[in-house]
Chains A and B, each alone.
Chain A
């Protein structure tokens, strides 16, 4: 189960990074950072 969730988080992290570079509006990009940090820390099982 944990592996499945790890994969889900990995997929979403990739999607978020992709979206970060696709989005043209700076504040939308900045909003995304708030979420991306969480995904990264969980991806590496830190928090």
Chain B
């Protein structure tokens, strides 16, 4: 199946989504399952929720752009922070992490505050690709950081570990890399500008015309995201797609007028490659499972001698994360967590979540990298990945380090 995929994607240069779907079909035929139509569609449905989130988030992004709200917000941030480099970098890092911290999804982070901070960083002199890397890595750290870490929830669900007492281990794993990476990526290129220069850099703001209304859509989205953590009386859990939709509709009335239908078409056009890849990946994984290939892969990693266990974790979890970080947490995270069962599960699951989180940078899906590239207007996300390498290794080292030091940390915290 992998060979068919590589052949279709590289030699015939078919789109990734189609290549995945066709190789899944080939796998099902070769495995004696015929055209396992139900399995193909069922597998794709595994990613339906994420497809819905991406599609609605892309619409929200387009709305922010078309209505001129984005430019106005960028202007506001520039005005507030242009003087102090370190403060600016740390604030921007927190801004990009925030949606990830409260939703547990790096995608939510890249797509909600990413478009906001990319122009800020670029205008102050950070090269485009580095700005994208900043967003991608920040979003992943946000996904890992407390209070909400869905990766840990998924792994915890597989071993009956309640999601309690994770704040401290998760902070230990995410805060140092967040500070180091923000400064490392930013300090060299970022310039301190004078007031006049700052004024010159400012994009056209609609602040004068629309006033506070401009901040409403983003505010609405962030407030609704925070509300997800509670169940208050009649307020239902909206879920991310509806939150982005509410934000988009708010945006219709808060800035420059535009055609919503056309904006959606543009959003669909830009989102289509990743949407079809996700559907294709779902088909691929289902056929892998159906033909026993998934069991074989999991078993191969688990069968490695104990000395290689950590290496196997460091390699396989991010690699599978290239399909889906959530999938990797479930399929590999749970068995690995069980293999490490003699250690404190709170610490090991936190560390594993950091390792699996890097998967969001891995092709073919490479969700965090792909969308941050899009946010800065870069077509080839591999160019962004180059700048993510060192931060990714730092996070990986942090994860493995915490795994190795788990017994020690257990005594300290």
Contact = CB atoms under 8 A, between A and B. Distances in A.
A35 B279 contact: yes
B184 interface: no
A47 B272 contact: no
Main SS of chain A's interface residues? helix
Contact of A1 (B238, B280, B283): B238
Contacts of B218: none
Contacts of B241: 5, 8
Contact of A28 (B272, B280, B283): B272
B180 interface: no
A21 to B, nearest CB: 11
Main SS of chain B's interface residues? helix
B15 interface: yes
B41 interface: yes
A27 B18 contact: yes
B268 interface: yes
Contact of B42 (A8, A19, A31, A47): A47
A38 B276 contact: no
A35 B237 CA distance: 25
A34 B47 CA distance: 12
Nearest to A33: B276
B275 A35 contact: yes
B14 interface: yes
Contact of B51 (A1, A19, A35): A35
A35 B268 CA distance: 11
Interface residues of A, number: 25
Interface string A1-35: 10011001101100110110011000110111011
B215 interface: no
Contact of A31 (B17, B236, B245, B264): B17
B21 interface: yes
Contacts of B51: 35, 38
A8 B18 contact: no
Contacts of B15: 27-28, 30-31
Interface string B47-68: 0100110011000000000000
Nearest to B276: A31
Contacts, number: 74
Contacts of A18: 265
A16 B21 CA distance: 19
Contacts of B181: none
Contacts of A16: 268
B242 A5 contact: yes
Contact of B276 (A22, A23, A34, A47): A34
Interface string A33-47: 011011001100001
A8 B49 CA distance: 12
Nearest to A47: B45
Interface string B21-43: 10000000000000000000110
Interface of B: 14-15, 17-18, 21, 41-42, 44-45, 48, 51-52, 55-56, 236-239, 241-242, 245, 261, 264-265, 268-269, 272-273, 275-276, 279-280, 283
Interface of A: 1, 4-5, 8-9, 11-12, 15-16, 18-19, 22-23, 27-28, 30-32, 34-35, 37-38, 41-42, 47
For the complex of A and B, the 3 pairs showing the least CB-CB separation, nearest first, are A31-B276, A34-B279, A31-B17
Given A9-B52, A38-B41, A41-B41, 19 more contacts: A1-B236, A1-B237, A1-B238, A1-B242, A8-B52, A8-B56, A8-B241, A15-B261, A18-B265, A27-B15, A30-B15, A34-B280, A35-B275, A38-B44, A38-B45, A38-B48, A41-B45, A47-B41, A47-B42
15 contacts: A1-B242, A4-B242, A8-B52, A8-B242, A12-B268, A15-B265, A15-B268, A27-B15, A28-B15, A28-B272, A34-B44, A34-B280, A35-B51, A35-B275, A38-B48
